[in-house]
């Protein structure tokens, strides 16, 4: 299984990530997430996310 070796997109992808603004579904705070929030899908800020993970 060495399938992820294909494609050839240079090698510089470790720059600053694109962040997307979103509103936390838990505390309603504005936050930024490293992925594009999808409609109908709750987004959690870091706080709530880790809370859920631990909780
Ligand atoms: Zn939150």
| CA 14 to centroid of ligand 1, rounded, Å | 27
pLDDT band at 35 (very low <50, low <70, confident <90, very high): confident
Residue 5 lies in a domain: no
Q: Does the residue 22 lie in any domain?
A: yes
| 32-50 mean pLDDT | 90
pLDDT digits (tens, 9 = 90+) for 2-30: 666 665 556 666 677 799 999 999 999 99
Residue with tokens 């694109």: 18
Residue 11 belongs to a domain: no
Rounded-to-integer distance, Cα 2 and Cα 13, Å: 20
C-alpha neighbours within 13 Å on the C-beta side of residue 42: 12
pLDDT digits (tens, 9 = 90+) for 42-52: 999 989 989 98
Task: Give the integer Cα–Cα distance in Å for 18 and 34.
Answer: 6
CA of 42 to the centre of ligand 1 (A): 10
| Domain annotation covers residue 8 | no
Q: Please tell me the pTM assigned to this model.
A: 0.61
Query: 20 CA to middle of ligand 1, Å?
Result: 15
């Amino acid at each position: 299984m060495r399938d992820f070796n294909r494609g050839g997109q240079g090698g510089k992808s470790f720059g600053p990530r694109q962040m997307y603004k979103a509103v936390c579904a838990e505390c309603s705070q504005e936050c930024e997430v490293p992925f594009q929030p999808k409609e109908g899908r709750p987004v959690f800020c870091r706080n709530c996310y880790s809370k859920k993970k631990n909780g």
